[in-house]
Amino acid sequence: MDLQSKVASFYIIMAGRPPTYRETREYFEDEVDELLEALSGWEEGGDEDLEHIAKEIGDVAFCLVAVAEALGIEFEEACDIVADSNMTKQPTRGGKVKKGNRYQEPDMRRAIL
């Protein structure tokens, strides 16, 4: 079962219905704050361990997929489309990337359910 199916099943089991956009956005914001807090603790040499950070990353991903599910967006397809588009960008000397003459804008229509 893919992650989006797991997220949809979770909401059906826990809430008896699909997720709403509003609740998924609130959950996502809370989880991002928790991840940022864990990362700050790790960067500052605190007692944050990578297992805790990995858990917070998983929570953020789960909630982000829930936002996509609530909006009718196929998460993995959206990620694939953006990744393919990103590969058409070109590097610069400073290590950044830019949209050069090969750049292809992502066509997100395939990701909309």
Q: What's the start-to-end Cα distance of the chain, in Å?
A: 18
Asked if residues 70 and 21 have their Cβ atoms less than 8 Å apart, the reply is yes
| pLDDT tens sequence across 54-72 | 999 999 999 999 999 999 9
d(CA 78, CA 82) in angstroms, rounded, equals 6
pLDDT of 48 > 70? The answer is: no
Predicted pLDDT of residue 95: 80
d(CA 48, CA 31) in angstroms, rounded, equals 16
d(CA 49, CA 52) in angstroms, rounded, equals 6
**pTM of the full structure:** 0.87
Report the pLDDT averaged over residues 25-36: 97
Report the pLDDT averaged over residues 91-108: 90
Predicted pLDDT of residue 17: 94
pLDDT of 27 > 90? The answer is: yes
